[in-house]
Amino acid sequence: MLLMKKNIYRYVANLLCLLSTTMTLAQVPPSPPSGPPGGGGPPVLPGLPIDDYIIAVFVFALIFGSYMIYRYNQKQKNPV
């Protein structure tokens, strides 16, 4: 029972570390400096809508992958 609690705490700690790292790396970049009005060059197009959700998909994949590894390890330790 004590070993199972340690594994859960380790799993939660790893999950929090992954989430904090992802959120740190996923900060919004500063906006580019504005030039004079009517300056040369075409307007900058906005990013694709999927760019807004790619971080959420990445975080979900990490969490799900960690859970699958955790579940597999639990099955190996406690065969039915």
24-45 tens-digit pLDDT? 776 666 777 766 665 566 666 6
Question: Does the pLDDT value for residue 49 go beyond 60?
Answer: no
Helices marked H in the chain — which ranges?
A: 2-25, 50-77
Q: For the whole model, what pTM was predicted?
A: 0.36
CB 26 within 8 A of CB 55: yes
Q: Which residues of 32-47 are buried (b: 16+ CB within 10 A; e: fewer)?
A: eeeeeeeeeeeeeeee
Radius of gyration of the chain (CA): 21
Residue 64 in this model has a pLDDT that exceeds 70: yes
pLDDT at residue 63, rounded to an integer: 93
